[in-house]
Structure 1
Amino acid sequence: MTQRQRSLIGGISVLGVAGIICKVVGVLFRIPLTHIIGTDGLGLFQQVMPAYNLLLAITSAGIPVAISRMVSHYVTIGEPGNARRTFKAALKLLTILGIVSTVILLLLSRLIATLVKTPEGYLSYMCIAPSLFFVCVMSAYRGYMQGMRRMMPTAISQLIEQVGKVAVALPLAAIGFARGGEETGWIMGSAGALLGTSLAECVAMLYMIIHAHFVKPLPPQPNEKPVSGRELAKRIVRISIPITLGACIVPLASTIDSAMLKSLMMGTGIPDDIAGRHYGVYSGIVITMINVPTAVAMAMSTNLVPSIASGLARKDMKYVAREAGIGLQVASVVGFPCSIGMSLLAKPIVYLLYGSNAKFTPEELMLAGNLLEFSAMTIILFTMVQATSGILQGAGKQKIPMLTLVAGVVCKVILNAILVSTPGISIHGAPIASLVCYTVSMIPNLYYACKYSGYRFSIPNIILKPLAATAVMGVVVWAVYNFVFGGIQGILSADFFRRLVIVALCIAVGAVVYLIAAILFKAINPDHLPARFRPKKKA
């Protein structure tokens, strides 16, 4: 395996591990936050996120990918000066976008809060608004570093964000709740938590700026043809627009879900308060849990963009095909066990994290477990969608994943309207619609990713071998959970620490069994492992 290929695996590992840690911290963060500001405060905190995430996607989703791709291209063809100029042009664009988006959210905070039926939440919108500027500026540096194949700074900045949330947001939430008193404590507490989030983003941004200051740029080559900042800005915008539109689709779909699902359930005769709580279970528990393993998918997409762009810049199609193949293989090797593992351990995980929370009734916890069992199947699909999107974006075909995701979301909306409004199915139709959404997006993505990378899709390597290893893992985990720990009855009768032991041991056993099975079935190439775990080759 070449050094470049190892850098792809290494980059995925670095960002993947950091991403999973961040997702886990994000899940755990909400538990003490709920105890501090109460369920009303947490609801207000969650209510701010759709509008914020939509603005964040508009301002900072596409440009970092464009920077990464263009920087990788210029470095590969021996024009590091143009790579640096690309970064400077993008930094100007993102700084302007960050300022504009922050001002817009500040000015419209009362209007948005009124539109989403929480007029008391305008202060929360104002407190999160500055983070739009911080994230925009930080994303310019992240895109530049990723284009240079330096993934560690991005990983560290992500960890700083999450640690900052715990270290700053929780104390500010407590201070806000105390100052607000019984009447407005939940409002002030939510605002304090979101202000802490903004401060954490600020610290992460400062880290990226300081780190970049100490990274010595590659010297311009004498035969370089400098590209003007205006021309580079045009290219950045041209590349980033389809990616940005695609990134807006998911938060837009979440906003549509929040508007549709509750009313659809009420149409089947479910009371208003019950429908609201069922939607809260789906969005607050199930979707949050599904997002944890998808961090690896995001890491793959981030790493594949500069890798594919670099190979195409050298016109080395064999390298491009190999990188695409490795990306798809890693996606399946990670996605299959995450899907099956989370599905098998759905109820233990739900009861471990939320079983002691008085906010949820036993019926709602069981509902969350049932929904998570099925929703976990979307992990492998989402992982493949992200991997293929990274390949296509690196190949300059960024419109394709945008269009396929639009098609998937349209199917999701239609199926939600049909299934959730059907008595007896109700909220259980939402994960079915999501499964169809990502399937519709994945199939054409996979076809075009193979077409433009030159990779010949291998059913044994991408599907059969990882699936066989996953099946072995699934049988062992199911047996340990049911015969050793007593299945769901063992979970229901256990306290928090016993639940923690059950979940931890099941995950540990599953990980070891899967790794052994994957090596035996040759789903994992030993060359893909870190150097310390690779078998030594005889001279």
Structure 2
Amino acid sequence: MSSKLLRGTFILTFGMVLSKLIGLFYVIPFEALVGAKGSELYQYAYIPYTLFISLATGGLPLAVSKFVSKYNALEEYAVGQRLFKSGLKIMMVTGFAAFVLMYISSPSIASFVTVSKSQNFTVEDITTVMRAVSFALILVPFMSLIRGYFQGHQSMGPTAVSQVVEQAVRIIVLLGGVFIVMKVMDGSLVTAISIATFAATAGAVGSLAVLLWYWKKRKDDIADLLVKDKGAVQISLPQIYKEILISSIPFVFVGIAMPLFQWVDTLTFNRAMANIGQAKMSGNALGILNFSAQKLVIIPMTLATAFAMSIVPTVTKAFIENRMDTFSNQLNQAFQILMFLTLPAVIGMSILAKPVYTAFYGYDALGASVLETYAPAAILFALFSVTAAVLQGINQQKFTVLSLLTGILIKLALNIPMIEMFHTEGSIYATTIGYLAACLINMYIITYFTGYKYRMVIQRTLLMAAFTAGMALVVGGAEWLLAPVLNPENRMQSVLFTVICAGLGAIVYFILSVKSGLAIQLFGRRIERLQQKLRLKF
């Protein structure tokens, strides 16, 4: 891999991680300002917005990145330029169309999720916040395509910087606006959340300004490339868009997998809770499920998936070159790294659900209970992402549509009866079963087309499970010893409680994995160097 590509990958990864961290920690002051009711109202708007964004972009920004890179490698720079200019027009049209559609359909969507007068918010309230966020749809697709174009030129800086600026501007406007409305003007919660959702538009403006600045700065370099264009390839835009349509649909589905599952909850949760006489508390529970707890659950999933996904390009290359031994070895490593990082993280989060939830949002018995049940599902979220990426690598990405639709149908079928039986946790069980089915289908398809066997992954996962059990005993023991000293229901004390217990658990898991040789087999010399620096002897 070239040093330019390595540097670009690092910059893009760093920008994504920093952006996600900003997006994670803003929830602490946000929750303090608006409470659980505010989080409930916020997620009513943001989940459909995420789906509309995916429909508006249709995978085109990623496809532009891929095709620009492909034709640049052939020195056919004009082809990529034509695609980019055409794509900008399409994104302007689809973005505006998505805005109009969301704006017009907001009352209908709001009326569907509002099933009882005892709920916290009316149809008008939900419609207002949905319409506030819909304006961002005009800009985000257009902005995303420019990012894709820069990435196609192996220039990751504009994307990374614009992502961080977008997130920073969004959070500043969100928190500043909410604070002014709630604390200075003593305004309504609906007005505050409307500003919070409209902050997505402000973030998009900030990001677009950064991208346009980069465009002006690099305009001459792009013009120089066009002078060097060979002009030997004659391909029409309809031909390119046909290929894009075929290849991008699976990416769109994978990208909206989690929002789709959340959307099922948005449409059915309140109705199911009303059926069992729990309509009054359903909104608060849904806010915890789809916003507060979900933000925490995806932390271990994001980190583990990032590590595992870094191996996928190597897996793809080995498959294309028909080096099946290398393919199996690399896939073994990807799955093992995924389980190695995710398994202890989610079990630890589940055990420490009360102090972890309290540290972020303040004590809430339902929140702690939901997080305790929800955390293990992150294993399946991460596994779905990695298996879908592998299917892409072996050119069988169409099956991700099949697996995801199967999972969604299972979620739809089970959600209401599960919620009626187990209340809020029932939704988590339905999500877990749906994701499990999707993962099993993906895994079977990988075996069917490659002959890959999961024997080693299963064996190593059992070993990791044993280490995790040892870690869990230590964490549980530390929790029991600290309970009389530190109150996990106190916000400040819960932070110290979590750090001590999680730290002890991490040390135990690290020692067990290094002493057994597992960590060295997965991460190689990096672990050996760390061991030497820390002067650890086992």
Question: What range is the shorter-chain TM-score in?
Answer: 0.7 to 0.9
Give the letter aligned to residue 207 of structure 1: V
Distance 1:194 1:275, change over 3 A: closer
RMSD: 4.0
Identity of aligned residues (%): 23
How big is each residue's C-alpha offset from its partner over 1:50-94, in whole Å with a ceiling of 9 and x where there is no partner? 321221121235223433444455456675654555444433332
3-state SS of 2:299 partner:
coil
Contact 1:526 1:534 in 2 (8 A): no
Select 1:318's aligned residue among 300, 320, 323: 323
1:179-190 to 2 correspondence within 5 Å? 181-182=186-187, 185-190=188-193
Q: Distance in 1 between matches of 2:7 and 2:370?
A: 33
Write the deviation string for residues 110-153 of structure 1: whole angstroms up to 9, x where unpaired: 56555554313444334322322332123223434555666565
User: How much does 1:327 deviate?
Assistant: 3.9
Corresponding position of 1:125: 130
Q: Which structure 2 residues correspond to residues 117-516 of structure 1 after superposition, within 5 A?
A: 117-146=122-151, 153-177=158-182, 181-182=186-187, 185-211=188-214, 214=217, 216=221, 222=230, 224-245=232-253, 247-248=255-256, 250-268=258-276, 270-296=277-303, 299=306, 315-318=320-323, 321=327, 324=331, 326-355=333-362, 365-422=364-421, 425-450=422-447, 452=449, 454=450, 456-457=452-453, 459-460=455-456, 462-465=457-460, 468-469=463-464, 471-472=466-467, 475-476=470-471, 478-480=473-475, 482-483=477-478, 486=481, 492=487, 495-516=490-511
State how far apart, in whole Å, the 1-side matches of 2:185 and 2:360 are: 28
Name the CA distance, whole Å, in 2 between partners of 1:523 and 1:415.
42
TM-score w.r.t. structure 1 length? Answer: 0.80
Look up the match of 1:359.
none
Return closer, same or farther for 1:121/1:277 CA change in 2, 3 Å cut-off. Answer: closer
Shift of 1:411: 1.6
Give the CA deviation at 1:442.
Answer: 0.8
SS of residue paired to 1:456: coil
C-alpha distance in 2 between matches for 1:265 and 1:115: 14
- C-alpha distance in 1 between matches for 2:398 and 2:471: 42
Q: Which runs of 5+ in 1 are unaligned?
A: 357-364
Q: What amino acid does structure 2 have at the position aligned with 1:285?
A: S
Query: What CA distance in whole angstroms lies between the structure 2 residues aligned with 1:511 and 1:43?
Result: 33
CA apart distance, 1:387: 0.9
2:271 and 2:73 mapped to 1: Cα distance?
A: 53
Q: State the SS of the aligned residue for 1:129.
A: helix
Q: CA deviation digits over 1:190-221, x for unaligned, max 9?
A: 12222222211221233344445556556766
Q: How far apart are residue 257 of structure 1 and its match?
A: 1.5
Question: Are the equivalent residues in 1 in contact too, given 2:513–2:519 (CA < 8 A)?
Answer: yes
CA 341–38 in structure 1, closer or farther in 2 if over 3 Å, else same: closer
Pick from 38, 46, 56 the counterpart of residue 59 of structure 1.
56
Equivalents in 2 of 1:336, 1:504: separation in Å?
A: 18
Q: Distance in 1 between matches of 2:154 and 2:530?
A: 23
Residue matched to 1:362:
none
Matching residue's letter, 1:374? T
Shift of the 497–455 alpha-carbon distance from structure 1 to 2, 3 Å rule, reads farther
In the alignment, the residues of structure 1 paired with residue 455 and residue 69 of structure 2 have an alpha-carbon distance, to the nearest angstrom, of: 31
The one-letter code sitting in structure 2 at the alignment partner of 1:141 is I
Unaligned residue ranges in structure 2 (runs of 5+): 114-121, 534-538
Query: Which amino acid in structure 1 is aligned with residue 203 of structure 2?
Result: A
- Aligned mates of 1:326, 1:75 — CA distance in 2: 32
What is the CA distance between 1:489 and its match in structure 2?
5.7
- Does the CA-based 8 Å contact 2:40-2:288 persist in structure 1? no
Asked if the contact 2:474–2:504 (Cα under 8 Å) also holds between the matched residues in 1, the reply is no
Any idea what SS the aligned residue of 2:233 has? coil
Deviations 1:352-399 (A, max 9, x none): 22235xxxxxxxx33332332232221121111101112223444332
